Homo-oligomer: A and B are copies of this chain.
Amino acid sequence: MSAFEQASSIERESADLYRAEVQDGWDIAGNANGGYLLSIAARALADAAGYPHPASITAHYLAPGRPGPVEVRTSRLRKGGSFATARATVMRGERPILAVLGSFTTLPERSDDPGEASATDRVDAVPPELPAPDDCVATSVGPVEGFGFNHKVDLRLHPGDDFRSTPSGEPRMRGWFRWPDESPIDVMSLMVAVDAFPPTIFNARLPIAWTPTLELTAHVRAQPVPGWLRCQFTTRFITGGFLEEDGEVWDSSGRLVAQSRQLALLPKPR
């Protein structure tokens, strides 16, 4: 079992009730990463739905995720055709910390064969251009204490988006994603990848220290093949105290495997 599989594993206690453990060390400043929390809920929902892959999944973040035991209470609303829809609440004691709604299916096995694309397929986009991983900037540096999550993922930021040296002025983050133990990227790994990068706002030259996520939706478009994920997150609208972050995640064969959008809150400037 990979480190990620172990950290996001669930145990079925009874129909519609799962137990899991939010592990220590998947946090930024004490709060568990939102994608990591989502992966726990997604595993429980996939089991409850009876299909392994979330086609579309939405989480609303209700309270910070601290290390410790959680309960995932699920309810399957519909199963039919090749999809099932289910919802979940992740509870820490009596406190809900995450509300999730998703539709699950079985995505086709992927190969590197480009000939498998259907006659109706059409892509009006290209993967982000990135220097090779070793020519990008690793974020897994600095103290583990308080920044554990940075050491649980292997992120390589595009040098032009390395806000820690020079914010680019563009609210964008581009880079590579893999697991530090190089375990295969599966569909559940995408739940983490869509929320693993630093906030786009860190490149916007605004005096903002953090942007809490209100809601995150991910569409999984295909099972990824092994290898690095190529990721891009952009923000076009910083207005009225909100900003969106649009994510694209491409696998090493050049296929879009996930799209994401989150709505985050913009605190008043310091």
Chain A residues engaging chain B, CB cutoff 8 angstroms: 55-56, 58, 60, 62-63, 77-78, 83, 85, 87, 89, 96, 99-103, 107-108, 117-125, 171, 204, 206, 208, 214-215, 217, 219, 221-222, 235-242, 244, 255-256, 259, 261, 263, 266, 269
Q: A238–B121 contact, CB under 8 A?
A: yes
- Closest approach, in angstroms, between the C-beta of A109 and any C-beta of chain B? 12
Q: A217-B261, A244-B219 are in contact. Are A239 and B121 (CB under 8 A)?
A: yes
Q: Which listed residue, B85, B124, B171, B263, touches A122 by the CB 8 Å rule?
A: B171
Q: A237–B217 contact, CB under 8 A?
A: no
Q: Which listed residue, B117, B119, B123, B239, touches A222 by the CB 8 Å rule?
A: B239
Q: B85–A62 contact, CB under 8 A?
A: yes
Given contact pairs A77-B99, A215-B219, a sample of 11 additional A-B residue pairs in the complex whose CB atoms are under 8 Å apart: A55-B214, A55-B242, A56-B60, A56-B214, A60-B101, A62-B85, A77-B96, A83-B214, A125-B236, A217-B261, A222-B239
